[in-house]
């Protein structure tokens, strides 16, 4: 990868995002209906490589059940509104009706309500009762406590997630989570995130993670890149972490799934993430627009209610269709935001990839003109790819 001087003696690496690349069709094509987009986390297999992110405007119990019923996976945030309030729908409705200028302040107030351990177990059991895989998340500082409660209640997959996660975290203020001990103590697969580099990805794999979340700051409701100035474009981040996965598998024969988290607006972006090495993707905005989403057309990041330094904002994304239309179609929009599974399978067919592993071997080219070439009328009329 090219190195550039950005000043005297200071080099920088060129990195790439979804809008800068394109996928090259192979020398064969396959009937899309005969492709297999499934993936696994540990021994838990999913028919659809799409995960709903642990955001309160996206996932509640009903949404987790609905997505699970069609073969996907939704992550419930154990430090969200669902575990702070007996009737979270009332609180979310209040948020949806709030003034944009006061939304962040209201979020900070709402999230001051203490988390109730009994609600953690209750929410897990409510999803489990529906017969779908249960996945919940917590920050590293709460992982030991909430992980045990969730596991005992019947949780299938546990996610430890923060803005930037590393094996070597230093703090005198609170107890630091020993990831190696935590992974061994948990009897269910543990997903860790978020990271964006080869070295950190490899360290988590060596410690015992079942899957990794890749992405810092690319989400539509996230302002981390603006507030903190950190992040790596998702294509490069995914390629680097996938390279760590492949090296780790070659050495140990243990496969750790890579999940690209955030930054994808269309089916094409999802396909590019998989071709870059992802086994699955995690989406927030796409699901926040579903009729079944609890946010009623609003979406906010997990770091938005931070008491001192909010790193997210409440945005209005509107409601574009049902969960089934967004995932399986038929698409009622012309911009690639619906029938995401159909987009993956059709792309796989055109690339000549029978499954996710074959799609990861797709030729990728640097092609920033892919978004604008021949799209004069779409640009002028603000339709399709140029909305």
CB 364 within 8 A of CB 26: no
Structure tokens at 357: 């592993």
Q: Find all residues with CB under 8 Å of 202, minimum gap 6, and list them.
A: 244, 247, 248
Nearest CA-CA partner of 362 in 281, 275, 280: 275
Catalytic hit among 13, 14, 97, 316: 316
CB 81 within 8 A of CB 101: no
CA distance 321 to 327: 10
Cis link prior to 330 (omega < 30° from 0)?
yes
Alpha-carbon distances, residue 3 vs 9, 14, 200, 220 (angstroms) = 12, 7, 21, 29
Kindly report the number of other CB atoms within 10 A of residue 32's CB atom.
16
CA 50 from centre of chain: 8
316 flagged as catalytic: yes
* Run of H or E including 179: helix 179-185
Nearest CA-CA partner of 31 in 271, 339, 350: 350
Catalytic hit among 135, 222, 241, 271: 222
Q: Find all residues with CB under 8 Å of 244, minimum gap 6, and list them.
A: 198, 199, 201, 202, 205
14 flagged as catalytic: no
Catalytic residue set: 222, 316
């Amino acid at each position: 990868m090219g190195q550039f001087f950005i000043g005297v003696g200071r080099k920088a690496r060129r990195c790439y995002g979804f809008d800068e690349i394109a996928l090259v069709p192979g020398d064969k094509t396959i009937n899309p209906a005969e492709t297999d987009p499934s993936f696994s986390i540990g021994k838990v297999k999913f028919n659809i490589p799409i995960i709903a992110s642990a955001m309160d405007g996206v996932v509640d119990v009903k949404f987790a059940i609905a997505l699970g019923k069609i073969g996907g996976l939704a992550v419930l945030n154990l430090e969200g509104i669902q575990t702070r309030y007996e009737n979270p729908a009332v609180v979310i409705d209040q948020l949806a009706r709030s003034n944009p200028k006061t939304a962040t302040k209201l979020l900070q107030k709402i999230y001051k309500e203490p988390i109730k351990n009994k609600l953690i177990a209750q929410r897990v059991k409510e999803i489990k009762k529906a017969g779908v895989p249960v996945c919940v998340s917590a920050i590293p500082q709460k992982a030991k406590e909430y992980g045990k409660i969730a596991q005992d209640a019947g949780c299938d997959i546990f996610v430890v997630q923060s803005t930037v996660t590393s094996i070597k975290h230093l703090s005198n203020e609170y107890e630091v989570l020993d990831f190696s001990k935590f992974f061994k103590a948990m009897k269910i697969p543990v997903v860790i995130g978020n990271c964006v580099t080869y070295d950190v990805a490899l360290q988590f794999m060596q410690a015992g993670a079942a899957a990794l979340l890749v992405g810092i700051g690319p989400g539509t409701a996230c302002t981390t890149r603006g507030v903190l100035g950190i992040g790596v474009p998702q294509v490069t981040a995914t390629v680097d972490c996938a390279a760590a996965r492949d090296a780790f598998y070659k050495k140990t024969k243990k496969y750790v799934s890579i999940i690209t988290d955030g930054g994808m607006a269309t089916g094409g972006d999802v396909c590019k993430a998989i071709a870059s090495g992802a086994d699955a993707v995690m989406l927030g905005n796409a699901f926040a627009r579903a009729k079944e989403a609890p946010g009623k057309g609003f979406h906010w990041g997990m770091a938005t209610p931070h008491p001192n330094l909010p790193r997210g904002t409440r945005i209005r994304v509107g409601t574009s269709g049902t969960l089934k239309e967004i995932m399986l179609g038929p698409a009622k929009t012309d911009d690639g935001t619906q029938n995401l599974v159909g987009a993956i399978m059709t792309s796989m067919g055109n690339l000549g990839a029978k499954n996710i592993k074959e799609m990861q071997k797709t030729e990728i080219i640097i092609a920033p003109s892919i978004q604008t070439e021949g799209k004069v009328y779409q640009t002028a009329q603000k339709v399709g790819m140029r909305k």
